[in-house]
Amino acid sequence: MSRGTWYKPPANRLVWDKEVIAALPRLIETNHRWGFGQCYQQLRFAGCWWNHKRVYRVYTQLGLQHRPKTKKQLPNRDYQPLGAPRVANAVWALDFMSDTLCVGRRFRMFNVLDEGMREVRAIEIDTSLPGKRVMRFPQRLIVWRGVPQAIRCDNGSEFLSWALVDFCRAWGIALRYIQPGKPNQNGYIERFNKTFRNDVLNAYLFEDLDQVREITAGWLRMHNEQRCHDALGGVPPTIFRERQTAINFIFELST
């Protein structure tokens, strides 16, 4: 008798696995986050006594496995000590905050602080602040306030975009990223964020963005023109800036 008589032809996998192929997608459709282990247990509980290797083969062939998101690797950041000189536009610190309206709608704030003068340059408020729009905001500030020597920020997605890198390169601004997971390295604006949240965000229930902007604008004038700072010798930022301008003017005349 020839050897071919005893040869078993290969099974048609699609026909043989049709029940498994039908069962797995139905299970995943209502339980999107289940992995293979949970799916296999549910099938066994439902009375499907298929071999786990068979079920796993179909599971992978159908592409049902979860692919974990890979965390983006950040470049090494050098430690940048705080301590900007008491002059305008030495270092601008940038940061984002978020809060919600009384109806549950979320909004964001983009804060710009002059570290040396403790003066808040501006706060941009809207429901969405993408990277390109964020960079148009400092451009308007530069026309009004002048060009900073450096910008300090964290490693948020908006600040990692090429929009910020190109902006700083075009204006000749040094870009100083803090080390990941160390917000204390951006301590000046973190301290301001705490004050702003306590005085404004936690003190009001906002109905709409116009109300947020109106209250923020009034508080901002108070902060820059009336609130005294120990680091500035017990005077508000605008008074300190005017004194520094007068001193520089007298020094230039004397030389």
pLDDT at residue 196, rounded to an integer: 95
Same domain, 131 and 193: yes
Question: Could you tell me if 160 and 241 lie in one domain?
Answer: yes
Q: What is the pLDDT of residue 61?
A: 85
Mark the ranges of the chain whose per-residue pLDDT is less than 50. Answer: none
Domain match, 29 and 126 both? no
Residues 105, 29 share a domain: no
| Residues 84-99 pLDDT 10s | 677 888 999 999 999 9
| 38 and 153 belong to one structural domain | no
pLDDT value for 173: 92
CA separation for the pair 88, 90 (Å, rounded): 6
pLDDT for res 10: 54
Residues 111 and 196 in one domain: yes
Question: How many domains would you assign to the chain?
Answer: 2
Q: Are residues 190 and 134 in the same domain?
A: yes
Asked, for residue 249, whether it belongs to a domain, the answer is yes
Shared domain for 98 and 174, answered yes or no, is: yes
Residues 146 and 235 in one domain: yes
The tens digit of pLDDT for each residue in 118-172 reads 999 989 999 988 877 777 888 888 888 889 999 999 888 888 877 888 889 999 9
Q: Which domain holds residue 29?
A: 11-61
Domain annotation covers residue 68: no
Q: 158 and 57: one domain?
A: no
Q: Is the residue at 114 inside a domain?
A: yes
Is 82 a member of any domain? no
The pLDDT of residue 75 is 62
Is residue 71 a part of any domain in this protein? Answer: no
In a domain, 179, yes or no: yes
pTM for the structure as a whole: 0.69
In a shared domain, residues 182 and 222: yes
Please check whether residues 113 and 233 belong to one and the same domain.
Answer: yes
